[in-house]
Amino acid sequence: MAETILCTGAVVRHSDSILLVRQSPGHSLEGQWTMPWGQVEGGESPTAAALREIREEAGIIAKMEGLLGLQELPDPWPGMVGLLFLCAHVDGTPTPDRRETDAAQYFRSDQLDAIADAIEPLTAWMIQRVFANDFTLLPANEAGPFVPSPTYL
């Protein structure tokens, strides 16, 4: 049986815009715009992984607003599960890492149709919902028994 792999993805808002990164050549999503995302590393929390991926892939410092949901990923990623977070911009200018990503930029809702490259389907669906305020956010609950580790309930 294959190992289950935990990933995180983050929708990062900055005023009326959302951060997208374009996946570099050689990546399985080459040329597509996505939310910053990646695998949780050994010993790393999902929250820390999401904030790390934002910083690594786009050069942005963000803060966690809460959990948007969970997505079991389809083929060609069987066994991968994505935790999707909503984050807020704190500091930085979108800058691709030139390894995993070759572009990083904030987009307003009215700019999405002008993007020449494809937007990855889960990302497109998630950002449309966030722009439309059509989501239920589970913020970190500081009354959880393991504070400062976040509980989303």
Do residues 150 and 64 make contact, with C-beta atoms less than 8 angstroms apart?
yes
Do residues 46 and 8 make contact, with C-beta atoms less than 8 angstroms apart?
yes
What percent of the chain shows pLDDT beyond 90? 79
Do residues 23 and 32 make contact, with C-beta atoms less than 8 angstroms apart?
yes
Predicted structure pTM score: 0.93
What are the residue boundaries of the structural domains of the chain, listed by start?
Answer: 18-131
Q: What is the CATH number of domain 18-131?
A: 3.90.79.10
Q: What is the pLDDT of residues 7-34, one digit of tens each?
A: 999 999 999 999 999 999 988 889 999 9
Mean pLDDT of the chain: 94
Name the burial class of residue 123, with classes exposed (0-12), middle (13-18) and buried (19+) by CB atoms within 10 angstroms of its CB: buried
Confidence of residue 1 (pLDDT cuts 50, 70, 90): very low
